[in-house]
Structure 1
Amino acid sequence: MSFPIVVLISGSGSNLQALINQSLQGQLNVTISAVISNKADAYGLERAREAGIPTHTLSHKAFDSREEFDAALQIIIDQYSPKLVVLAGFMRILSEGFATHYLGRMLNIHPSLLPKFKGLDTHQRAIDAREKEHGVSVHFVSPELDAGAVIIQAATLIENNDTADSLGNKIHALEHIIYPLAVRWFSEGRVTFHDGKALLDHKELPASGILYNNTLQ
C-alpha cells in the first residue's frame, strides 16, 4: 500500500518534481496526496496539476498572525491524513504549535551543512566565509528554525570561480538526490524520530546525519 504524503511549497517546486519523478518510476512508494502553497503563482502548483495531484493555495497575507495561518494550513493538511509532511521550498517560519503537531513526521531540506548557515542566503554566506565545501541537509522539523535532527547531508567543493548562482545549481542537483532518498527511508520505516534524535535502521545518527555517497540505498 502506498504511503501518503503532503508537500508544502512556495516556489518552483523542483524538489517536488524529483519526488513526482521517482514515484512515477517506482523508486519511491509514496502517494503525494496534495500539494499546498502559500503563493498562488508558485510554479510547483503547475507541476502538481500536470501530475494529477490535488492542489491548494493558502495565502499567509490573509491572516493576522502566523498562528492563525498555521492553524488553517493544518486543517487542510490533516484532511488528507498524511503519514509525512514534506517541506519542499516552503518559505515560512513555522509556529511552535504547528511544528509540534507534526513533530517526528515532517521533513525539511535546507541548503547548507547544518548547523552552519541557518536561515537564508546560504550560498553567498558560505562563499563569504571562505568555506571549502558547502552542501545540503535533510532534517526533521522542530520548533526551532533549522535545528531539527539531521538525517542526511550531501556536500560539494566550493571552487574559486563559484558564485552564489553556480553553487546553488550544484546544491540543487544534490537536493534532488537526497530528499527522495530520505523520504523513501521514512516511508519504509527505516528512518524514525525518537527523543529528538534521528535514527536509521534503529541506530542513532550523528548530529550531522549520514553523509551521502552513491552507494547508499
Structure 2
Amino acid sequence: MHQVVAEEWDRETVDGLEWRQRWEAALSSSFGRADNEVVTEAVAPDMVGSTAVVAVLSGCQIIISNCGDSRAVLCRGNETIPLTVDQKPDREDELKRIEGEGGKVINWNGARVFGVLAMSRAIGDRYLRPWIIPVPEVTFTTRTEEDECLILASDGLWDVMSNDEVGEVVRRLLRRWRRSPVVEGEILVAQAIADNLTEISLARNSSDNISIVVVDLKSKRKRLQRR
C-alpha cells in the first residue's frame, strides 16, 4: 500500500487543488487501485477482503486514511485521541448508505452486511458490492510537541481493549522507561509498546487477528538498552 500511495501522490497533479484535497484524491485513488489489483492480479477471490488503515507523516501533519474497522489512535500527553471512526454496518451514515443501495444489515453475532461482514467498507469483498466499498475516510491532525505515539491496529486489539486502555498502557510504559531506561537487550520504544499490547490482547483471548504498528513520534527518543 505504501508504494501505491507514493505513486498516486506523484500522479495527482490536478492544478488548483489545495494540499488537503490533493491528499484526499491521492489516497482515494490508492485504495481504489489496491482494490482493483486484488482482482486483476488474482491476489484473492471475490469472497476475500481486508481492512486498511494508512498513515502519512510529515513534519507538521498526521494524515490518516481508513477503510474498514482497523483503527488509528494518537497518544498526546495525557490524552488518547481517536483519528478514525470504525466503519461498521450499524453506524448511522453507513446504515443509511447500505439500505439506500438496497442492502440489509442483520444482527448475527453483531451487525453484519446481509448477516455476513461486520464492516461496511473494505478492499476486496467484491461479492458484496455495492454495499461494501473501498472508499476511505481521510483525516488531518496537526502535530504538537506533546505527541508521543501513533497506534495503528486491527480489531484483534480493539475488540479487547478500548482507546483509553491502550493510551494508559502506552503512558505507563513510557513513565516506567523514563524512570528506569535500562532493561535487557536493545529494542525500539515503539516495538516494545507493540509487543506489550499484543501480549495483553492474547491474554484477553482476542479471537481475531492482531496486527499492531506503533509509530514513535518523538524522533530523538533513544533506543532502550536491555540488561
TM-score (norm 1): 0.31
Which entry has the higher C-alpha Rg, 1 or 2?
A: 2
TM-score (norm 2): 0.30
